[in-house]
Structures are given as structure tokens and as C-alpha cells.
Structure 1
């Protein structure tokens, strides 16, 4: 597999995105889910062409993006998507909120599974729901799994929806098809909806069997709504484009009830970039996956050599590592200690769930091997200083 090389720091620091403007120049910024790779050339060409023709008006609707995704989903994900059952919007978070508003009433419980992408907590409340936490079972040493009994009990207690993270951020878990089908059966039994965030789906490592939720079973198609985007896999989150996908008449009614403006929140550049990504970006994506595979393995070696006691399970998907730094003795929020003493910015573990995130951090390894090496070296030096 070929590799796409990440940009060097001097180039990256000219970017004006959040990752590169949130910290001082002496900090290595590894918390924000932006990749350090150069933009895929087909996407860059499509955007340059749009600028040259002053193509900066409103997007033309969901169909062109949906048709591009149809081919991508079939080829890359083994998933047959009907473009007529796709409604686009600005980003995955917008999609989650709008779908939750259609399938729940204010005050209804919505299940999430910590440790989980921190905005999920806010998205549920934005949709006027009440967060119901059902933490993942297992852990770094043995691996994780969905707590199906806990989810069943939460639905029995009155929860009306669940936001599934498939693949799971921050632990990099790819739930298998059997588990997803079992989850769908639970949803069918309780007459509830599974909203599946699949934005990291294209970032599953080769050899790992990935099942989009709507592919898992007839019950999943009936009770599921999938939301996905090119944003993470092609590093274009600022361009604003996502897809809300259904596969049943029940799901279609959810999309049909979406406010008119939901579709028009998709940016024109987001639509243009997504079409280019889905139709011409495969070679670039393969190269990125190769580089991410190298880095997830490099991180394991670096931790073994320089940070003994730190616990890490190599993710099967995403470019994010969930690290247990408890052994370093840096308290419940080791990210704060790391930022102050090593000038390495990491994701704050407790933001992913206060009950499961203490002593943990999230690290973004979509960077050069040199940056990853330097980050672990800095953390190791801070460890030495903290015990002297």
C-alpha cells in the first residue's frame, strides 16, 4: 500500500483552522480531529475549478452528492444506498440533532455510550432530550463491546433513541455485524430509533470487517437512520456537507419531516468537495490509511519504549488513540499536566464521559511520524520530571 505523507510543521502552522490557531507555536496540537495530510488533489482541483467559474451560490440539492456516495458506499463499504433515500445537510452533528428532534419528544431519554465523542452530550440536549449513559463494556486491555443488556434496560425504562458511534470515537472500535443486528432487534422490540454516526466508516483499516448499521439486518433498516460525511476521511470538515441516509418507509418519514432548511445548510463547496472525494478520492484515501496504519503501530512501539505503564489499544478505525495515563500520576486530567509540562495538547479524557475518562486522554496520530515521536518524547520527559 502506498503512503500519503503528512505536511511538516512549518507548513501546518500556516493553516488557520482550529487545530493550528488554538495553541501557541511551541505546542504540538494533537486533540482536534483534523488530519495533517495535504488535501486530496481531485478535491483541490474541483474547488479551484469552482473558484475560477465563481461557483459560489447555493448547492443544487442532495441528489448529486447522494449519487456520488452511492458508488463510494458500494465500492468501499459494501453497502447499497438508494440516492432517493438521502437528504444532505451541513454536518453530521446537525443531522443527529434534526433526526433526534423528529424521533423523540422533549424530555425523552437518548442513549449514548461513553467514552464517546464529547459533542454527543450537547447534541442530545440541543434536541431537547435527556442524556442516558450506558458505558461501553470492557476496556483497553480486553477490548470493548456494546452493553446490549444495559441498552435494552435503558429502552425499557423509557429511552426513545440511541446515538450509535460506528466506528466508535475515541476507542476505534468497529462493532461487528452480529452485535449491530442484536442492537437492531432491541430497537425493534421497543419501537425506538438508532441514529448511527458513521463519519469514520471510511477510515476502517484494511482487513477489518466493517458493517454500516443499515446493512446489519432488516430490523436495522427499519429502525435505523445513518448519518455520514466525507469530512473526516477526506479532512474537509470546514466545507460543510453530510448525508442523512434511510432504508425503510419508517426512515423515509423521518427525512420527510425534516425542515426545508436542513438540506440547504450543506455548503456549495462541501457538495463539490464531497462529490470529488467520493468519485475520485479512493487512491488518496488508501494512501492515508497506509500512513495511519504505520502511525498506530509506531505509537504502540513508542509507548512501550518511552512510557511504560501507559495503556493503549491499537484502534481498528479512525486516527484517534485512547490512552490511559493513570500510571503517570498526573491526576484525573492528565491532558492539563501534559499541556503545561510537555507542551503537548491532548483531548481531555473526562470530556468523553466523567465516569470513564478520568486519567485518560485522546491523541490524534494523523501527523508525521516525527511529530508523533516528538510528542511521546516530550511526555516521557515530563514523566521523568514529575517523579524526580
Structure 2
């Protein structure tokens, strides 16, 4: 059973007996045929639970271990948790290139070849560096700004496409307005539908502002739109910005969440999961109207412009924010867990959202190859 394998790894890592770890892995490979997937899951859980006896021994695993790529992924996650960008990038590149080299060894293990390796590839791709980020133009949507008369500390910003708006806006609206706060709420919508237009026309609420764009880009871009327009809206409304997903229920009021920023430049919740793309979780983030916050946005957006033009991988918005935070060490940042508690007490995802398992399987439709530098090349399989 899987739990005996995981318990056995726990025991031998705690004892520091790496030879027994390797023997147990070989037995799992020969008898059960799911070593790659289960070892990956074990390493992720060990990092999440901060099992020091595992983390300390990972770097001592032999270089010729067949799953050294998973080991490198674990080391990359540890580096990311300490916001060491260059080390994170190098470990993730090694994780990907070494995993690609053993695909033939694990060719009969569907979970490793079709889920684990694509997931590692996505993490390595999302942080792959570029020599000159200033060459890529950021194509910003045109926005008709609404004038406001009142002063406010912050506004709430969300973005989505019309289909997602039609599905989730009413619950978003009802749960945020139940707090009866006189805030500004700005929703940026790509490709509005006739139902989108109907919902907005029927909404009698002057605090809600909308902007629109038509684009042939997909879901990854829709998640990034709010970052591209945040600074312009902050300057227009002359205040900070609380950025949210649209498919959420508001448990705490926006003002209480904003207070959790504690006058920092940038605040966020890390998402449960050690991957670098989850460390700055964009379900709910906040920017003060400060120069350092603008620097984080600029670094994030310039990187996103490159990534989206090359391949619109999932979680690019979160990976770009992680990178930007690493590159702006002088900025004051706030982990919302310290000021607000668990994210489930702040916002709740609807029951219809993708589960973690479904999101993990979403990487199965990506075709992967490797360039001469050991970085992934990603393309979508229709």
C-alpha cells in the first residue's frame, strides 16, 4: 500500500539511511510501477509539512538516482520558499532536464510521464529567464475611466472573460455587498457576452465600474489582465488596490482584508503547495499606491508579456509575482496568514471550482520538448 511506502521513506530519511531509501524506491518501482508519481507526492508533502529530516537529506541523494529530477524539484521548492530566485531557477531547470532523460525508464508509468513531468516542466518554464525584457511590448487594453468624487484607501479589482463573469458575478456581488461597504469595485471583462451586457445593464450600483476588451487570447491571459491594468487604475482612483479572483465568496469584508496589508507595499496568501507558482497566490493580493508596489507590478508585467507571447502557461500571473518579489527585496511585503489567519476565513472558492487533482491533470494536454539549455519548450495538444 502507498502509506507503507511513504512511512518507510519517512523512517529511512529520519535515520539518514539513504541506501535504504534507494532500496525501498527500487522495490516500489519493480513491484508496483508507480514510483515516480508516489515519490513526487511524498517529496511535496514533506516540504509542506516541513519535515527537516527529509529536507536536510535531499541534497545528499546520489546524482545517479533515477528520480534525481524529482529531488531537484524539491530543492527548487525549498529555495523558492526562501525567495532565492537564481537557485530556484537552476534547480527547476535541472529537475526538468533530468526528468526528461528518464522518461524511457518510466514509460509505463502514466502518472509520472503525463502529470508529474509536465507539472515540473510548467514550473521550470514559468521562471525561465530572458536576456532583455525591455524588447517585448506590453499590449495594454484601452480603458474608459470612470471619474469618482469620493476619496478611498483602496478599490477592489477583478478580471475575467464574459463567460466566467456570467457564471460567477452574481455570487461575487452578493457576498461582497453584504458587508455594506462604500468601496469602488472595478471589473475588467474580456469578450463580454450578451448575458454579460444584460447583467451589467440590470445592476443598479454606482460603486461598480466596468471596462472591456475584445481579444483572441485565452484563460492564462484573462488571469493576467488585472495585473496589466492595476497601476493605471490605481493612478486613476488615486488609491491602493485589492485584487481578487471573480469566482470567490467574500467571508471577510474588503476593508478587513485591506487592513491586513498592514501598510506594506504588497500582500498575499501563499497557497498550500510547495511549487514556486503557488507561493504568491493571486486569489487575493493587495498593492499599496507606492513606488515599490509599482516596481513589483512593472517587473511582473514585463515578464508576463514575454511569457504570454511565447506560450500561455497556467499560473503565469503567480510565477511572475513570485519572481518580481524576489527581485524587489527592499519592498515591504506582508504574508496575510500573519494578519488575517487562514484564507478560508477570508474568501471561499465555490464548489464548482477545479479541485487540486483536476488542476494537476490539466497539464496532461501539454506537449513538451527540451531546448539546448535544458529548459522546456511547451506547446498545446488539441
Shorter-chain TM-score category? under 0.3
Bigger radius of gyration among the two: 2
| Greater relative contact order (CA < 8 Å, ≥ 6 in sequence) | 1
TM-score (norm 1): 0.27
Higher helix share: 2
